[in-house]
């Protein structure tokens, strides 16, 4: 889940360094520092436990023209916060590119920021002590400043490449166009749903869930399998739509 947050932060940084003098503005102190652990990939992780999790500082209300500028970096910053202003020329780097935002022209709507709740994510989270689970979910979905305030979950319908077994919600050995054997699986009941409910309770953002399948049941597909390149047989288009509704 951390990857999604990181991507969002990196995008903001990429846009912002273009036109802000680094070090300008006011650094906001506070929050809780990252408990760093290196696994020797491209960056470190921040370790949370039952009693501790890193948190960004509280963000003061912004003045007119004010900007809250968060930076995460490979060398150590994690959502460090500076307050800057569009109205203070000293904070704009001279000679650097300027970005002009035309608010009258709008493109796609952003649904929110979040992460995926696959069965493997849920199995790993459920393996933690219940206090640590709470802490972890609060750090992602909580509504306070110290949380990432995720507002979106992508929920795989059935198994994924990361699952410990292959399954969909209708693994009949014969075609089942009326979906008589459609059923949620133990992964949903024991792992995903309890965590979704917890995340929903913690979120003050009206958490949105975006359900997306990994594969249709094998009997709907041209190669009678869930792995590898194949396609839905056209006679099951309606059945597949009904599967989504269920």
Ligand X SMILES: *[C@@H]1O[C@H](CO)[C@@H](O)[C@H](O)[C@H]1NC(C)=O
| Residues found near ligand X in the complex (CB under 6 A) | 35, 38-40, 49, 51-52, 164-166, 173, 218, 224, 227
Using Cβ positions, the residue closest to ligand X within the complex turns out to be 35
Q: How far is the CB of 113 from ligand X (least distance, A)?
A: 26
Q: How far is the CB of 50 from ligand X (least distance, A)?
A: 6
Closest CA to 60 of 86, 32, 28: 28
Nearer to ligand X, 16 or 77 (CB): 77
Nearer to ligand X, 122 or 153 (CB): 122
Q: Do the Cβ atoms of 182 and 223 come closer than 8 Å?
A: no
Tokens (6 digits) for 22: 């680094």
DSSP β-bridge partners for residue 37: 45
Q: How far is the CB of 84 from ligand X (least distance, A)?
A: 31
Nearer to ligand X, 39 or 107 (CB): 39
Q: Give dist(CA 3, CA 23) in Å, integer.
A: 26
Q: How far is the CB of 193 from ligand X (least distance, A)?
A: 22
Nearer to ligand X, 6 or 227 (CB): 227
Within 13 Å, how many C-alpha atoms sit on residue 192's CB side? 20
Nearer to ligand X, 42 or 173 (CB): 173
Q: Do the Cβ atoms of 173 and 217 come closer than 8 Å?
A: no
Q: Do the Cβ atoms of 83 and 71 come closer than 8 Å?
A: no
Q: Give dist(CA 130, CA 125) in Å, integer.
A: 9
Q: 8: helix, coil or strand?
A: helix
Residue ranges of alpha helices (H) inside 84-192 are: 119-126, 130-141, 186
Q: How far is the CB of 175 from ligand X (least distance, A)?
A: 7
Nearer to ligand X, 84 or 221 (CB): 221
Nearer to ligand X, 125 or 153 (CB): 125
3-state percent breakdown (helix, strand, coil) of the chain, nearest 5 = 30, 15, 55
Q: How far is the CB of 227 from ligand X (least distance, A)?
A: 4
Tokens (6 digits) for 27: 């650094």
Note the residue count of the chain: 246
Q: How far is the CB of 140 from ligand X (least distance, A)?
A: 17
């Amino acid at each position: 889940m951390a990857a999604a947050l990181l991507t969002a932060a990196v995008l903001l940084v990429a846009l912002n360094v273009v036109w802000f003098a680094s070090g300008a503005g006011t650094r906001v102190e506070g929050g809780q520092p990252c408990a760093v652990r290196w696994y020797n990939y491209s960056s470190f992780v921040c370790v949370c436990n039952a009693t501790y999790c890193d948190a960004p500082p509280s963000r003061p209300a912004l003045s007119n023209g004010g900007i809250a500028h968060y930076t995460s970096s490979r060398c150590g910053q994690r959502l460090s916060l500076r307050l800057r202003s569009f109205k203070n020329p000293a904070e704009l780097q001279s000679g650097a590119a300027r970005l002009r935002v035309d608010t009258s022209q709008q493109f796609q709507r952003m649904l929110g920021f979040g992460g995926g709740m696959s069965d493997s994510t849920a199995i790993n989270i459920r393996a933690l002590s219940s206090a640590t689970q709470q802490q972890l979910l609060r750090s992602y979905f909580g509504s306070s400043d110290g949380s990432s305030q995720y507002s979106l979950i992508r929920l795989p319908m059935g198994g994924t490449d990361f699952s410990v077994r292959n399954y969909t919600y209708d693994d009949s050995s014969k075609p089942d166009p009326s979906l008589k054997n459609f059923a949620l699986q133990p992964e949903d009941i024991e792992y995903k749903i309890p965590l979704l409910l917890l995340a929903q309770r913690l979120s003050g953002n009206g958490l949105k869930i975006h359900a997306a399948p990994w594969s249709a049941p094998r009997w709907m597909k041209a190669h009678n399998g869930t792995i590898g390149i194949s396609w839905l047989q056209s006679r099951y288009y309606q059945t597949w739509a009904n599967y989504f509704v269920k």
